[in-house]
Structure 1
Amino acid sequence: MEDDSPQERWRRRTEVPLAVGSLLFLGSYAARVLLHGMPEGWRDVCVAVTFGAWALFAVDYGVRWRMSRSGLRYIRTHWLDTLVLLLPLLRPLRVVRLYEAVQKRHGEPRLSLYARVMVYASLSALLLGFAGALAVYHHERLAPGANIRTFGDAVWWTCTTLSTVGYGDKAPVTGVGRLVAVGMMACGIGLLGAVTGSFSSWLIQVFTLEDEKRRARNQR
């Protein structure tokens, strides 16, 4: 039976607005960082959109916290939502949750468990990578002694960091840039582990089914 609790109804109602807010946040932040010659009026609009998206997340978090009536335990049991509220770079992940919700509304998911894990991990890596590249470029491009001067440099650094390769030719020198780097390293390890683990499990499942079919044919 479908859950029809107040918390679940609120979650269903806010899925699309929060996903739209995530995209607006990412788009407004990208415009502020990449469009250096933006008129002051448009820059103010982007700032307003950015803070408006944060306010949307804050209201949603507060309402769900109040509905839960669990006090501070809510923070521990909903740690991802807490991080999304506190760390702006994680807000685009709400788009991944919207994709999951759309899949559920169509009944049984069209993709297998292993394929869904790989799709979610790939989408998360793409969104986090883009947001991380924006943040590093924003704080590094004018910093003394920095070697990440263009957005292309930031994207290259993000790819090497998320993939855990660590090429080493580009590295952040500011405090904020290094903090983002630590988060990207942790996310890269987790996402890479999820993809490789799911792919390995899928291969094992395929080979197991083939062995079972071969044994069944031999017994005949």
Structure 2
Amino acid sequence: MVEDDSRKARWERRAELPLAITSMLFLAAYAVWVLAPGLPGTGRPACLGVLFTAWGVFAVDYAVRWRLSGQGAGFVRTHALDTLVLFLPLLRPLRLVRAYQAVQRRTGRPRLPLYARVSVYAGLSAVLLGFTGALAVYQQEHTAPDASIRTFGDALWWTCATLATVGYGDLVPVTPLGRAVAVGMMMCGLALLGAVTGSFSSWLLQLFAREGGDDAKPPEH
């Protein structure tokens, strides 16, 4: 088991940046596929080829990590998020957040404090999720009858309001898949907001405790 864990860790380290690049290509191809429906020539088949090839790379990575883990069917239970992302590859661009952390380690730069890292990673995640969610919602909504989200700009505005948990209600998805994406965006928005708020609150408490000195200690009787 130790040998399997070591081989799995080596595989993940070596595959980190290639998978991040593949995620970027996947997101770019999906954006072109959605935003340029009238692409002439072999443009759209090329986008489909990139999408399916990237998904194949993700599936191979999942299969290799499953094999090297030595867990058998238990790998699926203990890596539920990875399994979900395999079947919902639109979430895969979040791999870029992990790639950012890997680059920070390899370049030997000083690691940011925990609170700053939480904010940076939450910000990167929000941008990637927002752009991907806007693409998915726009694809489903802009041709639907009675849809209020008609342009990609509308989709971006709706995504920002949803991730920020504001919910103005001026733009709403009307298709089943669009609403499913909306539910996922709401959950992600709450999670990201909670992570940043909790981290910031903890940082303030530690800051006040340090600055307070003896005043922060409980009175002696």
TM-score interval for Structure 1 and Structure 2 normalised by the shorter chain: over 0.9
Q: CA deviation at 1:169?
A: 0.5
Aligned to 1:148: 149
Structure 1 stretches of at least 4 aligned residues deviating more than 6 Å after TM superposition: 213-216
Aligned to 1:76: 77
Percentage of matched positions with identical amino acids: 65
Between the aligned partners of 2:10 and 2:188, the Cα distance in structure 1 is 31
Between the aligned partners of 2:38 and 2:150, the Cα distance in structure 1 is 17
Normalised by the length of structure 2, the TM-score is: 0.92
After superposition, the C-alpha distances for 1:125-154 in whole angstroms (9 at most, x for unaligned) are: 100000000000011000111110000000
Aligned to 2:90: 89
Partner SS, residue 147 of structure 1: coil
Gaps of 5+ in 2: none
Between the aligned partners of 1:12 and 1:22, the Cα distance in structure 2 is 16
| Contact kept? 2:137, 2:173, Cα under 8 Å | yes
Aligned pairs for 1:164-183 within 5 A: 164-183=165-184
Residue identity matched to 1:186: M
RMSD (Å), alpha carbons: 1.8
Partner SS, residue 166 of structure 1: coil
Between the aligned partners of 1:167 and 1:100, the Cα distance in structure 2 is 34
Residues 1:40 and 1:144: Cα distance change in structure 2 (over 3 Å):
farther
Normalised by the length of structure 1, the TM-score is: 0.92
Residues 1:204 and 1:42: Cα distance change in structure 2 (over 3 Å):
same
Gaps of 5+ in 1: none
Between the aligned partners of 2:42 and 2:21, the Cα distance in structure 1 is 23
Between the aligned partners of 1:172 and 1:215, the Cα distance in structure 2 is 50
Q: CA deviation at 1:102?
A: 1.7
Which deviates the most, 168-177 or 29-38? 29-38
Aligned pairs for 1:14-163 within 5 A: 14-107=15-108, 109-163=110-164
Residues 1:204 and 1:142: Cα distance change in structure 2 (over 3 Å):
same
Partner SS, residue 5 of structure 1: helix
